[in-house]
Amino acid sequence: MKKNEKKLYPFIFDETVIERPWGREVWTVADMTFVDSVVADGYLKGNSLSDLMETYLERMTGEKIYDFYGRQFPLMVKFVDVKGRSPLMVHPSDEIAVERYDALGKAELWYVLSAEDDARVSVGFENDITPSEFFERFREGKLEKVLHTFVPHKGDIISIPPGYVHSASGHMKLAAVMESSDLDFILLDHYDAPSDKEASENRQTALSEAFDFINYGKSDVKPLDASSFSCPEFNANVISLAEPLKVRTDKFGGFVIYICTEGEVSVQVMSTGSETQERMTETVVGCGNAVMVPADVQEVFLVPRDRNTVLVEAVPHLVEMPDSYINPDTEPFLEGEDYEGLEDGLDEESEEESEEDFE
């Protein structure tokens, strides 16, 4: 950062509300073409998340995360209010998404804010199922009978791994953290009209695209009453904030998102400017909203404004994806080709390393 350059600050974004036949989605942090979150306050008010990524690069996400994801902000957050039955869908893994679509796959984490007696969540299958049985049930509209379905409760953490079919029904509210991806393959939507030919064709297309990456095994997913969660794509911690908490954000190696699921929190940081003008500034985050703390902010104070304040802390988890075009077991030289002694030199180096190891 240049000497007179303003430091970034915690960002709250304007909400984007999307009404669905089965409920409502409130997008609070998103860097997608169809939803691009806009900064709600501060000197960068009116700038979109993609604008910030274009301008501030690694100052937004951190050097390692930026090197890995580039200008694509890697996570998104939304609040989901289910009042019916959401579509049955599935997402690909990062490896498949990169190979086929040059995009991120999608892993999801659901934090249950509230759940009424009729609330249900389905993730994967109750028992092993063959692809042919799956296809027959898909064609006959009988998939729901073989899904692994359970009753959610307030405070539960529910993991939705890539490849697992999933849906929610009844009346429940969720805070959802996921990878920034629109690869949602909808296999069943209860609100499609039987005579809607286009919808039927879309479901067939989704099935053909997803058929080979659906996990047909018995699901081991269950609601977790836990304070932490980790998957290859991101980590999350549930914080019951009873007193002020000082966080050194540089320990994450990049940005962090705090999602307020109960109560209200004041996110306080030192303002920019000369040393004589430094002062503490605050960003208030209420229940049902989230704040993104960029890598540029290395220290933050979380101060509860309500005795029952609960936060979900989410950070990306870097995992290198293997290149499917490279076989690590392949010999470095082709038989019969002349490499002008290079292969002999390699053999000598290998022998020397083996002798050193033996000694």
Strand (E) positions, 30-184? 75-85, 88-90, 108-115, 120-125, 147-150, 157-160, 166-179
pLDDT over 90 at 250, yes or no: no
Mean pLDDT of all residues in 67-92:
96
- Collapsing DSSP to helix, strand or coil, 330 comes out as coil
Taking residue 223's Cβ as centre, other Cβ atoms within 10 Å add up to 19
pLDDT over 80 at 343, yes or no: no
- pLDDT for the residue numbered 230: 87
How much is the pTM? 0.85
- pLDDT for the residue numbered 93: 96
57: left (phi over 0), alpha (psi -120 to 50) or beta: left
Q: What is the DSSP string of 208-271?
A: HHHTTTS--SBP----B--SEEE-SSEEEEEEEESS-EEEEGGGGTS-EEEEEEESEEEEEEEP
Instruction: Assign 332 a pLDDT band (cuts: 50, 70, 90).
Output: low
Of 85-94, 202-211, 238-247, 256-265, the least confident: 202-211
* Percent of all residues in the chain with a pLDDT value above 90, rounded to a whole number: 69
Instruction: Assign 319 a pLDDT band (cuts: 50, 70, 90).
Output: low
Quick: pLDDT tens for 129-170. 999 999 999 888 888 899 999 999 999 999 999 999 999 999
Mean pLDDT of all residues in 184-193:
83
Quick: pLDDT tens for 222-233. 988 778 888 888
Burial 331-348 (b: 16+ CB within 10 A, else e): eeeeeeeeeeeeeeeeee
pLDDT over 90 at 198, yes or no: no
Quick: pLDDT tens for 96-111. 999 999 999 999 999 9
Of 83-87, 145-149, 328-332, the least confident: 328-332
What pairs with residue 31 in β-bridges? 36
Mean pLDDT of all residues in 278-307:
93
pLDDT over 80 at 342, yes or no: no
147 or 200: which leads in pLDDT: 147
Quick: pLDDT tens for 34-58. 999 999 999 999 999 999 999 999 9
Of 129-133, 265-269, 351-355, the least confident: 351-355
The DSSP secondary-structure symbol of 180 reads S
Q: What is the DSSP string of 336-349?
A: T---TTHHHHHHHH
pLDDT over 70 at 205, yes or no: yes
pLDDT over 90 at 7, yes or no: no
C-alpha–C-alpha distance, residues 165 and 207, integer Å = 11
Most confident of 311-315, 318-322, 349-353: 311-315
Of 13-27, 135-149, 293-307, 318-332, the least confident: 318-332
CA distance readout (Å), 175 to 18, 82, 100, 110, 261:
15, 11, 29, 6, 7
Instruction: Assign 348 a pLDDT band (cuts: 50, 70, 90).
Output: low
238 or 139: which leads in pLDDT: 238
pLDDT over 70 at 354, yes or no: no
Burial 4-39 (b: 16+ CB within 10 A, else e): eeeebbbbbbebbeeebebbebbbbbbbbeebbbbb
CATH hierarchy code of domain 16-227:
2.60.120.10
CATH hierarchy code of domain 235-316:
2.60.120.10
CB under 8 Å to 21, separation ≥6 — which residues?
84, 191
Q: Could you tell me where in the chain the CATH 2.60.120.10 domains are found?
A: 16-227, 235-316
What rounded mean pLDDT belongs to the chain? 87
C-alpha–C-alpha distance, residues 37 and 184, integer Å = 20
- pLDDT for the residue numbered 359: 45
